[in-house]
């Protein structure tokens, strides 16, 4: 069955990556394909929001390097609290690091520095500009961690004038095909080609129920278009929710819109 018409539950028993199976299963259980993007300058505000938004989301996406930590102790306290919330509310943590260097460098960046991303982020992502060595470097670090880790490759971006998509996305897909146990899927604007036995989980940013853009190149689409028509699996929503007057009610609106688009899509295939 094609991943476009199979249910998340069906895919949760067959997905090639351990983390993909975990993710699809919790999405099915919680009835959510919403990833919240927490681009806020305050660690305590992020934790506060996650505790109230937790039931509505399948993934929490961070940019750890925009937070004003004063030392390694602060960072460890924050990532420890993130992990506790992820366990409490049953969601995964995605550090949107967008690695973009040679294998040897990204290996040091993923495993080391002050953030030690591989220790606490279930998922991270990478650009494919450097070629497949970037995946090898990240994979070496992931293999040293006790828990499953997975990678998303950026095939296509949401922003205006992006150099991704088209031939770039096709080449990115070829790189992923060599790494089916570590590369869980893609950041793209819609489904990628799935050959027999493949099941790429696609996460899509640039989602908003009202606005079309942000004045800095971001371009928005609706959950219906992204999940229903273009076949993506997970919507990534930032300012549409964290900038709203009532983030909990708004997150539920996005969760419902994303979920209904998914249900319609899978029903269409039966
Ligand atoms: O193509 C992309 C890829 C990503 S990961 N376009 C994006 O906007 N992102 C990220 O998604 C971006 O870094 C930001 O964290 C989020 C979108 O936030 P929003 O506030 O525009 O919904």
What confidence category does residue 258 fall into, taking pLDDT thresholds of 50, 70 and 90? very high
What is the CA angle 216-221-226, rounded to 5?
135
What confidence category does residue 178 fall into, taking pLDDT thresholds of 50, 70 and 90? confident
Q: For 163-181, what is the mean pLDDT?
A: 96
Instruction: Return the CATH number at 237.
Output: 3.20.20.70
Q: For 32-36, what is the mean pLDDT?
A: 99
Domain presence at residue 66: yes
Instruction: Please pick, among 98, 107, 256, 264, the residue that the annotation labels catalytic.
Output: 98
Judge contact between 235 and 223, C-beta under 8 A: yes
> Is 98 a catalytic site residue?
yes
Domain presence at residue 171: yes
Q: Is 37 in the pocket of ligand 1 (CB under 6 A)?
A: yes
- pLDDT tens-digit series, residues 202-245: 999 999 999 999 999 999 999 999 999 999 999 999 999 999 99
Domain presence at residue 252: yes
Domain presence at residue 2: no
Q: Is 124 in the pocket of ligand 1 (CB under 6 A)?
A: no
Q: For 71-93, what is the mean pLDDT?
A: 97
Q: Is 240 in the pocket of ligand 1 (CB under 6 A)?
A: yes
Residue 187 domain boundaries: 8-268
* pLDDT computed for residue 1 by the predictor: 80
pLDDT(9) > 90? yes
Domain presence at residue 3: no
Nearest protein CA to atom 10 of ligand 1, as residue = 205
> What is the CB neighbour count within 10 angstroms for residue 246?
10
Domain presence at residue 15: yes
Domain presence at residue 118: yes
Q: Is 203 in the pocket of ligand 1 (CB under 6 A)?
A: no
Nearest protein CA to atom 1 of ligand 1, as residue = 157
Q: Could you tell me the distance, in angstroms and rounded to a whole number, from the CA of residue 109 to the centre of ligand 1? A: 21
Q: Is 96 in the pocket of ligand 1 (CB under 6 A)?
A: yes
Q: Could you tell me the distance, in angstroms and rounded to a whole number, from the CA of residue 218 to the centre of ligand 1? A: 8
Q: How many domains does the chain have?
A: 1
pTM: 0.98
Task: Tell the burial category of 236 from Cβ atoms under 10 Å away from its Cβ (0-12, 13-18, 19+).
Answer: buried
Share of the chain above pLDDT 90, in %: 98
Name the one residue in this structure whose structure tokens are 């090639």.
16
Q: Which two tokens stand for residue 260?
A: 């209904």
User: For the chain, what is the radius of gyration of the CA atoms?
Assistant: 17
- pLDDT tens-digit series, residues 113-133: 999 999 999 999 999 999 999
* pLDDT computed for residue 270 by the predictor: 57
pLDDT(23) > 70? yes
């Amino acid at each position: 069955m094609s991943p476009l018409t199979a249910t998340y539950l069906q895919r949760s028993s067959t997905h090639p990556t351990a983390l993909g199976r975990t993710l699809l299963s919790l999405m099915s259980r919680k009835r959510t394909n919403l990833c919240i993007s927490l681009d806020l300058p305050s660690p305590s505000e992020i934790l506060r929001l996650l505790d109230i938004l937790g039931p509505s989301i399948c993934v929490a996406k961070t940019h750890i390097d925009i937070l004003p930590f004063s030392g390694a102790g602060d960072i460890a306290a924050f990532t420890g609290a993130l992990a506790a919330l992820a366990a409490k509310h049953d969601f995964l943590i995605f550090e949107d690091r967008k690695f973009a260097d040679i294998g040897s460098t990204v290996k040091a960046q993923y495993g080391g520095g002050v953030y030690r991303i591989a220790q606490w982020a279930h998922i991270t992502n990478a650009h494919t500009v450097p070629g497949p060595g970037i995946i090898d470097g990240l994979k070496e670090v992931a293999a040293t961690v006790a828990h499953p880790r997975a990678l998303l490759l950026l095939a296509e971006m949401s922003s205006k004038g992006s150099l991704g998509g088209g031939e770039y996305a096709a080449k990115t897909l070829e790189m992923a095909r060599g790494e089916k146990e570590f590369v869980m899927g893609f950041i793209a604007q819609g489904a990628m080609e799935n050959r027999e036995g493949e099941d790429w989980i696609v996460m899509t940013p640039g989602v908003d129920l009202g606005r079309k853009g942000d004045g800095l190149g971001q371009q928005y689409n609706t959950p219906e278009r992204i999940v229903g028509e273009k076949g993506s699996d997970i919507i990534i929503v930032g300012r549409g929710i964290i900038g709203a007057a009532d983030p909990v009610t708004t997150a539920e609106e996005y969760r419902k819109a994303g979920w209904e688009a998914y249900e319609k899509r899978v029903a269409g295939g039966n």
